[in-house]
Structure 1
Amino acid sequence: MVLFLSDIDGTLLSAQRTLSPRTIAAIEAVRAAGHHFVLCSSRPPESMRVLERLYGGIGSPLVAFNGGLVLSGDGEVRHDVPIASADARFIADHCEASGLHASFFAGEHWYAWGEDEWTDRERTHTWVFPEPASTLEFVASGGVDVTPPHKVMCMGDPALVDALEAALADRSGVVTYRSKDTYLEIANAACSKGTGLLAVADLLGVAREDLYYFGDNFNDLPAFEVVGHPIAVANARPEALAVVESVIPSNTDDGVAVFLEDWLAGSAG
């Protein structure tokens, strides 16, 4: 039994930002052969379930928020590394003073800054809807202390994002990831896709030599380090391409599907 794990954005999604029919068929085939296929992303759980439904994968474990939250197939929390509430409050205060948008993702819940262009973009991107309470209401109510966020997404003018990134540089409890000049993702410094996927491997009883991971970016590097078979799509960053076992076609050329098809054919042979 083999465990295939895949990043989503830039790795698995087609140019239409969904799963192509070929990718759906390939995932269905490896699952029908008795193997596992698990999503591992910075996205929240419900956004990942939207994709799982396309190939009948509901009931599989999930590695959400870059490893900050791992859920078993029945939704049980198996690994939980949220941002400390003090760090979350610092971020909220800074963003309120500077005018940056800050979305707080805590487990299954998304607290957005308000109805602005950034909320609309995130809703379109993730297919998830925010809670009625805003980020600042979530913080002011004390909810941030009870269920601190697993990920904070700050969005706005690049200069304001630069300033926040600099302000967080001395806070050792958080790590930042700049996906684009207007976006800053923030997580607990102790979480990574590597630790998250190992929690899934332990849950399913799969050895490291039977772990295959598909990725494309900086946040995939910890995953590449711990699996038996690190694989990058051709459109991956040079840092990712430099450390993998093999390179497959790009996400827009159905690279993951191509690999799965070939792997199944070789396995059957």
Structure 2
Amino acid sequence: MVLFLSDIDGTLLSAQRTLSPRTIAAIEAVRAAGHHFVLCSSRPPESMRVLERLYGGIGSPLVAFNGGLVLSGDGEVRHDVPIASADARFIADHCEASGLHASFFAGEHWYAWGEDEWTDRERTHTWVFPEPASTLEFVASGGVDVTPPHKVMCMGDPALVDALEAALADRSGVVTYRSKDTYLEIANAACSKGTGLLAVADLLGVAREDLYYFGDNFNDLPAFEVVGHPIAVANARPEALAVVESMIPSNTDDGVAVFLEDWLAGSAG
């Protein structure tokens, strides 16, 4: 039994930002052959379930928020590493003062800064909807102390994002990922996709040599380090391509599907 794990954005999604029919068929085929296929992303759980429904994957474990939250197939929390509330409050205060948008994602809940262009983009991008309470209301009410966020997404002018990134540089409890010049993802420094996927491997009883991971970006590097078979799409960052076992076609050329098809054909032979 093999465990395939995949990043979503830039790796698994097509140019239409969904799963292509070929990718759906390939995932269905490996699952039908008795293997596991698990999504591993910075996205929130419900956003990942939208994709799982396309290939009948509901009931599989999920690695959400770059490894900050791992859920078993029945939704049980198996790994939980949120951002410390003090760090979350610091981020909220900084963003309020500077005018940056800060979305807080805590488990199944998304607290958006307000109804602005960034909320619209995130809603379109993730297919989920924010809570009625805003980020600042969530913080002011003390909710951030009870259920601190697993991920904070800060969005805005690149110079403002630069300033926040610099302000967080000496806060050892958080790690930042710059997915684009206007986006800064923030998580607990103690979590990574690597630790998250190992929690899934332990849950399913799969050895490291039987772990295959597909990725493309900086936040995939910790995952590449711990699996037996690190694989990058052709459109991956050079830093990712430098450390993987093999390169497959780009996400827009159904690279993951191509690999799964070839792997299944080889294992059958």
SS of the aligned residue for 1:153 comes to strand
Shift of 1:48: 0.2
What whole-Å deviation, never above 9, does each CA across 1:189-238 have from its counterpart, x for those lacking one? 01100000000000000000000000001100000000000000000011
Shift of 1:166: 0.8
What whole-Å deviation, never above 9, does each CA across 1:155-178 have from its counterpart, x for those lacking one? 011111111111111111001111
Shift of 1:256: 0.3
Shift of 1:50: 0.2
SS of the aligned residue for 2:19 comes to coil
Shift of 1:98: 0.8
Shift of 1:240: 0.6
**CA distance in 2 between partners of 1:8 and 1:142 (Å):** 33
Shift of 1:68: 0.3
Q: Percent identity?
A: 100
**CA distance in 2 between partners of 1:236 and 1:161 (Å):** 23
SS of the aligned residue for 1:136 comes to helix
Shift of 1:108: 0.3
What whole-Å deviation, never above 9, does each CA across 1:41-69 have from its counterpart, x for those lacking one? 00000000000000000000000000000
Residue 264 of structure 1 corresponds to which residue in structure 2?
264
Shift of 1:266: 0.5
Shift of 1:95: 0.6
Structure 1 runs, 4 residues or longer, greater than 6 Å off: none
Q: CA RMSD in A?
A: 0.4
What whole-Å deviation, never above 9, does each CA across 1:82-105 have from its counterpart, x for those lacking one? 000000000000111111100000
**CA distance in 1 between partners of 2:163 and 2:245 (Å):** 38
SS of the aligned residue for 1:122 comes to helix
SS of the aligned residue for 2:50 comes to helix
Shift of 1:148: 0.1
**CA distance in 1 between partners of 2:245 and 2:65 (Å):** 25
**CA distance in 2 between partners of 1:20 and 1:265 (Å):** 20
**CA distance in 2 between partners of 1:252 and 1:159 (Å):** 31
SS of the aligned residue for 1:115 comes to coil
Shift of 1:123: 0.1
**CA distance in 2 between partners of 1:53 and 1:39 (Å):** 12
SS of the aligned residue for 2:184 comes to strand
How many residues are aligned here? 269
**CA distance in 2 between partners of 1:105 and 1:23 (Å):** 28
Shift of 1:134: 0.2
**CA distance in 1 between partners of 2:194 and 2:184 (Å):** 21
**CA distance in 2 between partners of 1:228 and 1:221 (Å):** 13
Residue 8 of structure 2 corresponds to which residue in structure 1?
8
**CA distance in 1 between partners of 2:126 and 2:108 (Å):** 13
Shift of 1:249: 0.4
**CA distance in 1 between partners of 2:40 and 2:52 (Å):** 12
Residue 134 of structure 1 corresponds to which residue in structure 2?
134
**CA distance in 2 between partners of 1:28 and 1:218 (Å):** 28
Q: How does 1:72-111 map onto structure 2 within 5 Å?
A: 72-111=72-111
Return the TM-score normalized by structure 2. 1.00
- Which one is further off, 176-185 or 127-136? 176-185
**CA distance in 1 between partners of 2:45 and 2:257 (Å):** 23
**CA distance in 2 between partners of 1:105 and 1:30 (Å):** 31
SS of the aligned residue for 2:102 comes to strand
